[in-house]
Amino acid sequence: MRLPLPRRYLLAGALALASVPLLASTAIAQVADMPRNETLVLTPWGDQPAQFANVENWHPYLTSVTHQRDVMEFTVNEMLFYTNLNTGELIPWQAESFEYAPDFKTATIKLRDGVEWSDGEKFTAEDVKFTLEAVRDAPPESRGAAAYNEWIKDVTVNDPLSVTINFNKPAPRFIRDYLALGHENHHTILPKHIWEGQDFATFTNYDPDKGWPVGTGPYKLVLTTNQQEIFDRRDDWWGAKVGFQDMPAPKRIILVPVSSDDAMGQLHIANQVDGGRQLLIGTFEAARAQNDKLKSWNTEGPNWGAPDGCDYSLVFNMMKEPWNDVNLRYAINYAIDRDALNDIGYEGSQKPVTYAFSGYMAGTWLGEGSPLQAVLDKYNLDDPSQEKVDEYMAKGGYAKDGNGVWAKDGTPINVTIRTPAFIQPILAPLTQQLKNAGFDAVQAPVDDTWLPDIQSGNFDTMVFVHCGSLSEPLETLQHYHSKFSRPLGETIPTAIAASRYSNPEYDAIIDRMDAVTADTNPDSDYMKDAAAALDIALRDLPQIDMLEEFHVVTFNNTYWTGWPSAEDPYVAPYTPWEAFNVVIHNLQPSGAQ
């Protein structure tokens, strides 16, 4: 259990942090000084090492390189479109519009005239064609390669400002999901004149003498070290030249690493950062008590944060015994008290759920009269009960041994709970709940092997995030399609599909949904299929959904104002989402010196 931290913070105050990297103006002599009130200081999202890695590799499509997610997407790079997930509103950027053919086998994108790369070259349809086909043909470890290979047949250039994507099958949501969502897709267009002829797997996209990385964004990379990354505003940005947008107010953006929640709280108290890594609720409330310029999405707690389209799930490796036994999975579900997990692990700041449908879509798709809600109510998984634990364990052939521990054939079943560090608050209370229900449950040490292990199948159970339904139920339901499954030892296309679930009946339903647009009409074929898929997912229960994430996204208004909030929800507030570029253009100096 992680306790709130007010007492320690009140004692610590805003002590100098020897472990925190200094700002560029005082630490790097070759970079010109910049006043703090003209500098936006951010940290990467989530749990990160104390130093940056791959500082001379700025390839945005390599899953082993995080710069695109951490900072490139709102400095060097821009997207064709963004979406305000709070409203569903499309925000055209490098492009003006797109249109599907009636059969959804093609989609034509109209680009904005006047967009330029940072080296002065024009941004054209040739760049779009090159990028989409290059990613389609890229090695499997490249972000999006599997999906592009599945969906994209080829791309046709109609004229310099018009391009048509030809799909292998009807693809009514491809542009939204990969080129416009403004979420965690990170699929930027690449400059053909630089990338053509390069080895996609090994090209680093970094050469300061040549001005690389080249993008269309208003900032250029001027320094990259394992302690900080610095971007200065370009006065020749295309958006200001053509009157599309004013220049963003920050003249410099600095990204600094921060390795812990506690350190981030101290940085906020001392006004050394403006945003970035989320805070745990206790840290936020303690830091806010000492710095009233700190704000989150909501003005009151305990639910300070905004939904991020994900939930915390207990994932079972369906290709390993005994986790392929549905009775065992159901028994574990009924041992879980979601309200207690929320209260103990997160001080009431999350939301108990039984499936990964996010708050962004819940109001449209769930509630009274919804076929999806009827399925959720039918299974009623949020109903902790020792009686049901006993019932399902007996069905699975288990009995308690002399120590009161569930066993089969005299051998206790061990449930080792693993989790990444950023979900660690759930670890102790979840383990204790399973112990209380009779399971030999233990906490695994938190280490850095969880991601390769979940990708390769080297795990039994893992608490992870299930990110999906921002707009419609298919976005989550699709992750149980067998196209995401691989034999043990092979890397899966997405860590979100870690259960390796496979069911031909389920595949057929998802394939039908893939080919049509979403439809909230209860009598529509889409809604009937969505309800049928959800019914199978809850019947087979390859993972147990527990809490919807509501991150305490924290922004510091000391030097910069204009951050998104529930009162001004112009985009979702997450720094690792593409739409954070819209936030950069909305910020204004507070007037502080």
Does the pLDDT at position 1 exceed 70?
no
Q: State the distance between the two ends of the chain, measured CA to CA, in whole angstroms.
A: 41
Confidence of residue 421 (pLDDT cuts 50, 70, 90): confident
Q: Strands 555-556 and 294-295, how do they pair?
A: antiparallel
State what percent of residues in the chain have pLDDT above 70: 95
Confidence of residue 28 (pLDDT cuts 50, 70, 90): very low
Does the pLDDT at position 518 exceed 60?
yes
- Residues 6 or more apart in contact with residue 226 via CB below 8 angstroms: 51, 52, 53, 55, 257
Average pLDDT value for residue range 6-31: 38
Does the pLDDT at position 8 exceed 80?
no
Burial class of 121 by CB neighbour count within 10 A (0 to 12, 13 to 18, 19+): middle
The DSSP element (H or E) to which 324 belongs, if any, is: none
Q: Can you give the pTM of this predicted structure?
A: 0.88
State what percent of residues in the chain have pLDDT above 90: 87
Q: Supply the pLDDT for residue 6.
A: 32
Q: Supply the pLDDT for residue 75.
A: 98
Average pLDDT value for residue range 324-330: 97
Average pLDDT value for residue range 294-318: 94
Q: Supply the pLDDT for residue 23.
A: 42
Confidence of residue 447 (pLDDT cuts 50, 70, 90): confident
**In this structure, what token pair is assigned to residue 73?**
């997407």
Does the pLDDT at position 11 exceed 80?
no
Window from 6-15, 220-229, 287-296 with minimum mean pLDDT? 6-15
**Contact between 322 and 567 (Cβ < 8 Å):** no
d(CA 419, CA 416): 10
Average pLDDT value for residue range 18-28: 37
CA distances, 117 to each of 77, 121, 167, 189 (Å): 9, 5, 28, 11
Q: Supply the pLDDT for residue 49.
A: 83
Does the pLDDT at position 17 exceed 60?
no
Does the pLDDT at position 208 exceed 90?
yes
Which one, of 183, 592, 291, 336, lies nearest residue 279 by Cα?
Answer: 291
Confidence of residue 47 (pLDDT cuts 50, 70, 90): confident
Mean pLDDT, the chain, whole residue set: 92
Which one, of 166, 147, 171, lies nearest residue 156 by Cα?
Answer: 166
Q: Supply the pLDDT for residue 19.
A: 34
- For 237-283, give the DSSP string: -HHHHTTSSPPPS-SEEEE-----HHHHHHHHHTT--SB-S-B-HHH
pLDDT in tens, 118-150: 999 999 999 999 999 999 999 988 999 999 999
**Contact between 187 and 11 (Cβ < 8 Å):** no
Window from 163-167, 221-225, 254-258, 447-451 with minimum mean pLDDT? 447-451
Average pLDDT value for residue range 314-342: 97
